[in-house]
Structure 1
Amino acid sequence: MKGKEGNFVSKLLNRSYETDEQAALDLYGTNPNDVRYKMLKHRVKKKFYNNLFLLNYQKLKVKPYVKHEQECYMLLHNANLFLKQYDYKLAELNVKKVIAAAKEYDLINQEIAALEIILFCNSELGSLKDFQKHKQRLDELLRKKAFDREAVSLFQLIKIQLNKSVKSRREYLPQLKNDVKQLERLWRLSRTFDSFNSYYKAYIWYYELIGDFSKIVELTVLSENLVEKGEVLSSRFDANYNKYILVYSHLRALKYDKGLFYAERYLIDFNQNSINWFAYLENYFLLALHSQKYDLAKVLLDKVFNNNYYQRITPVAKERWQLYQAYLSIISGDKQFTKASNPYLISLPEQSKDKQGSNVAILILQFYFFLQKKDLEALIYRIESLKKYIHTHLKDAFSLRSKLFLKLLVLTVTEDFNPELCRKKGQKHYDKLLSTPPPGDAYSEIEIVPYEHLWMSILEILETHNT
């Protein structure tokens, strides 16, 4: 494009304009209601849509099956044009290519559309044998499609239900269990990839919500076996996502050694210059912390902060890594841990309305910092805040572990930082903590360092202060 159109598109691509007002003012010295600006937008939009037909999907960075899917759409478009010209041979030639690609990538919608066209061509050309063969295949696919469509529709409904509040998700759980069973039945009836994918994702969501991560471990291992056997299409199955979930579910199922084994094994499969690598490293890092392999955790943390792509991850993700860094410092006894080195020691972020987020983790971190520094005044000042937080935000059963641990923190102050009294009077809370499993992810944050480990560390600090 040249002239005004080229200038407009160039500045859009460079994100020079955030609003129509900025663009209209720059290009015409006017406002967006100017007819010249409206016509410019109309011409550019029209050329954009026309050029979509010329887009070479083979050059796009998308999964292979997406390229073939788009190729099928183009071939179907061509076949329909040839039908209108009564050129049944060329139409048939195009849809045969669609059928071949659709079978390879389980593109059931495209294959059905192709078979409908080829049946029309067989009918017009009087090809009875081909007609019967293609009709048999179409009837088979339509039966599979009925189950496939039911599975996808049910999955979409589940997704809507789970996008509601925590309260709504909890109320939906009994029905979700039945829906997951129904998705499994529909997958076994259809054997399509989309129906499997619907079952796979809903299964993970359900067992994550109820906190049974051992079941998710089973599914991820089963899925790999199904792919190897050819029962699930490898070209469409997201193997890296399955590896991510496999490591994550081992973390949540408290299977640390096995989780570390898989985390190290699959790390090479993730591109370091991607957001997915950082997400994967979070689970790997937390596995190292929970299994008390602090040297490994330090190595992983260095990998993160030395990765040039770190500057491109989201601010929220960066904040999480800063929080992880702070916890590694306190639990490993790093003397470099100071208020200046981490922003979480200064203030607590605004409370989330629907989830606890990292609020409890930050409260604990702040308390730990002042305990290490023997700042008794700051600790006493925070006691009322902790009590208020427990009363206001930790009333549900899924908050029990956080509630118990914050009570232990309060106890250290009320017992005047006496290690023996804290150990003795805190034993009932500690025993209950040991017997209380972590809740499902939908209801609570992951403990960056298990509360049991933190409590032992706090008692050690108290003993050091009293010697």
Structure 2
Amino acid sequence: MEEIRVLATLNSHANFSSTRSLFELSKGKESKLYQNALNNIYTDDYIASKALYGSNPNDVRYKMLKVRLKKRLYNNLFFVDYDRLKIGKVYQAELECLKLLHHAHTLSRLYELDLVLSNTSKVRKIALKYEFTNFLIDALELELECHTESGNFKEFQKCTNELTKLLKKKLYEREAVSLYQTIKLDGKRSVKLRRKHMANFSSSIARLYDIYCLTDSFEAFYSYYKANIIYSEMIGDFDAIVDLTLDSEQKISAGKINITRFNRTFNKFELVYAHLRAKKLEQGLRYASEFLPDFKENSPNWFAYLENYFLLALHSANYELALNLLHRVSNSVSINRLSASAKERWNLYEAYYLLMAGDTSGSLSKKNPFLLSLPEYSKDKQGFNVAILILQFIFYLHKKDTEALLYRIESLKKYILTHLKDTFSLRSKIFLKLLILIVTEDYELKICSSKGQKLYQKLVDAPTPGDAFAEIEIVPYEHLWNQILNILKEHYN
């Protein structure tokens, strides 16, 4: 039933002349099964078979009905309006090549050689524009068949030479894609396995670059580009991503990358994010402002982009800009469409903004000072557990609730021992130790400041961890430590 439901949903976006004439104007059982599967009335085979035949899913009549409907739905995919499905132009070009090649293969079996060549000519035109090596090879192989049958030796030899070059290029491209896929797959494995395989990634990246230089192929470049970003994020080398994304922008401007296939919006997103993580804040803010119009307002990508823009503002202590961005998000017509995790992130961002800048205008929602209506850390908040723990600690510090703080330091010690054992957790581990120091030294500003200096210097010297492992610093720990010392000065001394 799930297969029919998915196919029915896709077919509902097809042209009027196809789907509606097949199903909407029909009164038969096929139409009923289609419509009720589409509207989630028939959620499983038991409900559908009972409604249609008063029987069960093993009824041969029901089985044959499903076979007939699925055949029609699959055939009808040829008529789907891909613009309505919001499929990108490059993927529409791929589908057009597949359609033309299907026509050409059919005509080849009918020995209509001129029509075959007419269709392969169209395929080659599209494939050259988008650098679709696969489709160029398919088209040339069909043309070779035609020239063999027609005895056109000159064109046969020309196609043979071209095909030989393309097959060599395809071997390189396949190697590049395979290397990228291996790195991406390893990046999705457990932390332990990722670290184990990371030593091999460097040589793979070098090989990918060599393949790109050898072929000057878009496929090779894009494999190198994507793999390089994954690897650089893992090792925390965000300067390398800054260089890669800026270089890609320059290549686009110089016409050295196929603009029809390169995802420039993603590159701009990654460029801004890399500047944030590389602590190139001033440049990052400039790019964030420049590229913002390229993201469709209220779209998921727009919200994600604004997260990086907001964090750049917060890290650079540009609180006026941070507040403006918070207002843009909170006033968005699509805010309620965000996932629960995305909404929670924005709650955390607002809380940290209030901690660092306050809300003297009273323009933000009236919540407790640090929006501490937050749940305890848990597995479903991976990446923000430390941020939540820190915020809770500062909230009780501000309230001078020493009993709650004593309880908190036990939680912090346990969290350090359980979750912060690796080198990529070093910054979080050091900062939590600074929080523990505050309680153990009885909130004495001078003692905390002097004894914390050594830990603070270690924090400054600690390398930026890679994305694959690190917890997120919504505000740099160095800024937070200074803010905590200010709280001690105002409330405890």
- TM-score, normalization: structure 1? 0.94
Unmatched runs of 5 consecutive residues or more in structure 2: 1-22, 361-365
Distance 1:431 1:301 in 2: 32
Corresponding position of 1:314? 339
Paired residue for 1:238, among 252, 256, 263? 263
Amino acid at match of 1:369: F
1:200-222 Cα deviation digits (max 9, x unpaired): 01111111111111111110011
Alignment of 1:68-467 (within 5 A): 68-334=93-359, 336-338=366-368, 341-344=371-374, 347-351=375-379, 356-466=382-492
Q: Is the contact between residue 144 and residue 191 of structure 1 (CA under 8 Å) also seen in structure 2? A: no
> Structure 2 vs 1, CA of residues 371 and 255 (structure 1 numbering), >3 Å: closer, same or farther?
same
> Structure 2 vs 1, CA of residues 22 and 368 (structure 1 numbering), >3 Å: closer, same or farther?
farther
Distance 1:228 1:267 in 2: 19
Distance 1:337 1:425 in 2: 35
Identify which range, 128-137 or 108-117, moves more after superposition. Answer: 128-137
Distance 2:187 2:370 in 1: 40
Distance 1:409 1:269 in 2: 41
State the shift of 1:27 in Å: 5.0
> Structure 2 vs 1, CA of residues 11 and 319 (structure 1 numbering), >3 Å: closer, same or farther?
farther
Unmatched runs of 5 consecutive residues or more in structure 1: none
Distance 1:330 1:16 in 2: 50
Distance 2:186 2:160 in 1: 39
Distance 1:320 1:403 in 2: 22
Distance 1:40 1:339 in 2: 62
CA-based RMSD: 2.0
Corresponding position of 1:51? 76
Amino acid at match of 1:437: P
State the shift of 1:244 in Å: 0.4
Distance 2:180 2:255 in 1: 23
State the shift of 1:105 in Å: 0.7
> Structure 2 vs 1, CA of residues 28 and 132 (structure 1 numbering), >3 Å: closer, same or farther?
same
Partner SS, residue 379 of structure 2: coil
> Structure 2 vs 1, CA of residues 77 and 351 (structure 1 numbering), >3 Å: closer, same or farther?
closer
State the shift of 1:29 in Å: 5.7
Identify which range, 9-18 or 176-185, moves more after superposition. Answer: 9-18
> Structure 2 vs 1, CA of residues 385 and 58 (structure 1 numbering), >3 Å: closer, same or farther?
closer
State the shift of 1:17 in Å: 4.9
Q: Is the contact between residue 57 and residue 70 of structure 1 (CA under 8 Å) also seen in structure 2? A: no
State the shift of 1:337 in Å: 4.6
State the shift of 1:227 in Å: 1.9
Distance 2:390 2:56 in 1: 53
Identify which range, 310-319 or 280-289, moves more after superposition. Answer: 310-319
Identify which range, 335-344 or 313-322, moves more after superposition. Answer: 335-344
1:71-96 Cα deviation digits (max 9, x unpaired): 11111111111111111011111111
Amino acid at match of 1:40: L
Identify which range, 330-339 or 298-307, moves more after superposition. Answer: 330-339
Amino acid at match of 1:266: F
State the shift of 1:59 in Å: 5.2
**Identity, % of aligned positions:** 51
Amino acid at match of 2:160: K
> Structure 2 vs 1, CA of residues 83 and 343 (structure 1 numbering), >3 Å: closer, same or farther?
same
Distance 1:303 1:19 in 2: 43
